[in-house]
């Protein structure tokens, strides 16, 4: 069947994007095949895009580590993708590869409630990590009026984000995080620390401003060591599941023209 969709990455086995998309494909009776996950090595991505262009794919989601390569392979990209120099959503249309990035809107929609937004606008936020996800988060937080401190192991990566996005923010080394915590209203971990259930001790929550909101982009495990520690100290916490779902929703809308919702049923189906 033509009009198919899938996610590509390497590794990809852990991805729950197929569960999310297939739930909505069924819910909205979209006439496409099953959304698949496809493991692709870097050297195979270009040929795969050409195959898709020639035939049976409507679109692809792109995940780690191919978002930057996908950007380079596109014939046309959205303003946001251009800014981030990374693509997570590809559409094949009229023999062209069109790239977009729905990560920032996914993050924005995941923090749409007042209890979260009130910790961001004109407030001080700490973004830990300077990888691909941090780029989208920093871009979005800045456009929501946040003051940003970016903490990362490698300073150069943080400087590169500043340069590419043309955004002004402060840098802080991981060792210096304790020095900024007392003024921080929103903390977000974008590093992969904690994904394999390892401890993440980058923040001493005893030093963090009392009313601060704590977010971890990791959604598996649902409550990382980082979030558990924050919760124990009385902070409101959130994991990355909603962002994943909302970025998927934005991709779904691009391909199928329908804006799907985040229902309790969907959340249950992911358990
Ligand atoms: P993603 O696209 O998910 O953001 P990434 O681009 O590989 O993934 O970025 C991973 C981030 O986690 C980076 O900021 C990385 O720090 P460096 O920039 O110094 O490499 C950070 N990270 C990964 N493992 C870490 C560790 N053990 N301690 C501290 N930071 C770590």
> Distance from the CA of 131 to the center of ligand 1, in angstroms?
6
Q: Whose CA is nearest to atom 6 of ligand 1?
A: 131
Which of these, 164, 191, 197, 166, lies nearest to 177 by C-alpha position?
191
> Is residue 73 within 8 Å of residue 45, measured between CB atoms?
yes
Mean pLDDT of all residues in 112-132: 91
Percentage of the chain modeled with pLDDT above 90: 93
Mean pLDDT of all residues in 23-37: 96
Task: Report the pLDDT value the prediction gives residue 189, as an integer from 0 to 100.
Answer: 98
- pTM score of the predicted model: 0.95
Paired tokens of 95: 């023999």
To the nearest whole number, what is the mean pLDDT of the chain? 95
Task: Report the pLDDT value the prediction gives residue 196, as an integer from 0 to 100.
Answer: 85
The best mutation among 175, 191, 217, 243 to test binding of ligand 1, ranked by most ligand atoms within 8 Å of the C-beta, falls on: 191
The best mutation among 131, 171, 200 to test binding of ligand 1, ranked by most ligand atoms within 8 Å of the C-beta, falls on: 131
> Distance from the CA of 193 to the center of ligand 1, in angstroms?
8
Which of these, 81, 137, 119, 122, lies nearest to 230 by C-alpha position?
119
Higher pLDDT, 230 or 56: 230
Mean pLDDT of all residues in 143-167: 97
Q: Whose CA is nearest to atom 12 of ligand 1?
A: 191
d(CA 269, CA 20): 8
Q: Annotated catalytic residue: which of 37, 58, 67, 124?
A: 67
Paired tokens of 212: 């601060």
Task: Report the pLDDT value the prediction gives residue 113, as an integer from 0 to 100.
Answer: 80
For residue range 44-62, list pLDDT tens digits in order: 999 999 999 888 899 999 9
Task: Report the pLDDT value the prediction gives residue 117, as an integer from 0 to 100.
Answer: 85
Whether the per-residue pLDDT at 233 is higher than 60: the answer is yes
197 is an active site residue: no
Pocket residues: Cβ below 6 A from ligand 1: 64, 129-134, 152-154, 157, 190-193
d(CA 130, CA 70): 19
Angle at 37 between CA 33 and CA 42, to 5 degrees: 130
Higher pLDDT, 22 or 113: 22
> Distance from the CA of 195 to the center of ligand 1, in angstroms?
11
Label residue 8 by pLDDT band (50, 70, 90): very high
Task: Report the pLDDT value the prediction gives residue 3, as an integer from 0 to 100.
Answer: 84
Whether the per-residue pLDDT at 1 is higher than 60: the answer is no
> Distance from the CA of 153 to the center of ligand 1, in angstroms?
8
Paired tokens of 122: 């004109």
């Amino acid at each position: 069947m033509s009009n198919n969709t899938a996610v590509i990455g390497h590794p990809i086995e852990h991805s729950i994007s197929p569960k999310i998309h297939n739930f909505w494909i069924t819910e909205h009776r979209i006439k496409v095949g099953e959304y698949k996950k496809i493991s692709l090595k870097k050297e195979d991505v270009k040929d795969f895009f050409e195959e898709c262009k020639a035939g049976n794919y409507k679109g692809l989601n792109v995940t780690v580590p191919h978002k930057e390569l996908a950007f380079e392979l596109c014939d046309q990209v959205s303003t946001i993708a251009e800014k981030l120099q990374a693509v997570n959503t590809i559409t094949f249309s009229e023999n062209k590869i069109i790239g977009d990035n729905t990560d920032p809107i996914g993050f924005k929609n995941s923090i749409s409630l007042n209890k979260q937004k009130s910790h961001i606008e004109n407030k001080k936020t700490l973004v830990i990590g300077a990888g691909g996800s941090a780029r989208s988060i920093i871009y979005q937080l800045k456009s929501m009026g946040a003051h940003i401190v970016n903490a990362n192991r490698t300073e150069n990566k943080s400087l590169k984000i500043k340069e590419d996005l043309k955004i002004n923010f402060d840098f802080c080394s991981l060792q210096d995080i304790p020095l900024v915590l007392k003024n921080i209203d929103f903390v977000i971990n974008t590093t992969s620390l904690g994904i394999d259930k390892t401890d993440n001790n980058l923040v001493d929550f005893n030093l963090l401003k009392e009313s601060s909101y704590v977010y971890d982009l990791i959604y598996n495990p649902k409550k990382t060591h980082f979030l558990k520690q924050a919760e124990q100290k009385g902070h409101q916490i959130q994991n990355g599941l909603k962002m994943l779902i909302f970025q998927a929703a934005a991709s779904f809308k691009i391909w199928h023209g329908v804006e799907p919702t985040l229902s309790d049923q969907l959340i249950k189906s992911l358990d």
